Amino acid sequence: MAKTSRTKKEQPIILITNDDGITAPGIKALVEAVKNLGKVIVVAPDKPQSGMGHAITIGHPLRLSTVQLFGDVEAYHCSGTPVDCVKLAVDKVLHRKPDICLSGINHGANHSINVIYSGTMSAALEASIESIPSVGFSLLDYSIEADFTGAAYYANLLVKQLLGKKIDKHLCLNVNIPPAPKELLKGLKICRQAYAKYEERFDERQDPTGRKYYWLTGEFQNFDKGKDTDVWALENNYISVVPVQFDLTNYQLKTTLQKVLTKKH
């Protein structure tokens, strides 16, 4: 990785975080999958943080503690969000930028619009904002007993490839793995983000005192017929790889707006 300061003899530093919390089986699978590729350091939330998006903690302070959960791998849990974990790891644990930041393996899908809500992907995107190449991994299986064998195999393969190449310091990959046995997976496929989302509604319920409350629910719908999308790839047993960016400018709309909103005020 030419754009970092690592010399040939040094091991790459691999920072690992997630959003399911430090005790989730998925992060353990990721640590095991890549620990032969460099020096792994884990800084992950001390509790589940799914759906936190790119939240950061600004109104109160953060705690950070060492924890023994991954054998001889240095690990810390943090009271903040996934994004907080990345920031705190760089400033107070590593005291430098790692060579790569990995997030996951998430229990559940982060393809299509999920990338926006996902703490897993926000941690990866934060790293990329900080000029640290990053990859978020998600397995399409929410269960605590999910089988990470295939996901772990491809995580190792992809990270090894990335560490062996000159890569963009802002690289951020959103990798989703179908919930299939390893031997049925067809390999990595570079994709775009599908326009597919949850059609949401709220269950309206009553608490024991008769007051209403609302619980988010909904069904996934794919509005995108493209065969170059992450949703298509996953439905066809490919591992989807979407390069993700933090420049949210809609350049096409920018050009249109320059024509329609240029009246004198």
Place of tokens 């900080």: 130
183 belongs to the binding site for its own copies (CB under 8 A): no
Of 25-33, 34-42, 66-74, 87-95: span binding its own copies (CB under 8 A): 87-95
Of residues 193-222, those binding its own copies (CB under 8 A): 193, 195, 197, 200-202, 204-205, 211-216
Of the candidate spans 1-9, 66-74, 144-152, 249-257, the one that interacts with its own copies by CB under 8 A turns out to be 249-257
**Alpha-carbon distances of 25 from 31, 166, 191, 216, rounded to whole Å:** 10, 31, 27, 26
Query: Binding residue for its own copies (CB under 8 A) from 33, 100, 123, 125?
Result: 125
Using rule CB under 8 A, residue 157 touches its own copies = yes
- Residue 212 CB, nearest approach to its own copies (Å): 7
Instruction: Select the span of 7-15, 38-46, 137-145, 238-246 touching its own copies (CB under 8 A).
Output: 238-246
State the Cα–Cα distance between residues 148 and 108, nearest whole angstrom: 12
Any bridge partners for residue 198, and if so which? Answer: 220
Among 22, 33, 155, 172, binds its own copies (CB under 8 A): 172
Q: Using the rule CB under 8 A, which residue among 165, 181, 221, 235 binds its own copies?
A: 165
CB 110, CB 138: distance < 8 Å: yes
- The verdict on 263 binding its own copies (CB under 8 A) reads yes
How far apart, in whole angstroms, are the C-alpha atoms of residue 237 and residue 258? 43
> Does residue 96 interact with its own copies by CB under 8 A?
no
Contact, 200 vs 51, CB < 8 A? no
Q: Could you give the count of Cα atoms lying within 13 Å of 111 in the half-sphere of its Cβ?
A: 30
Site membership for its own copies, residue 184 (CB under 8 A): no
Query: Among residue numbers 9 through 28, which ones bind its own copies (CB under 8 A)?
Result: none
SS (H, E, C) 119-154: HHHHHHHHHHHCCCCEEEEEECCCCCCCCCHHHHHH
**Using alpha carbons only, how large is the chain's radius of gyration in Å?**
20
Selected range binding its own copies among 29-37, 68-76, 134-142, 192-200, rule: CB under 8 A: 192-200
Instruction: Assess 117 for contact with its own copies (CB under 8 A).
Output: yes
Contact 188, 154 (CB under 8 A): yes
Q: Which of 69, 73, 94, 113 binds its own copies (CB under 8 A)?
A: 113
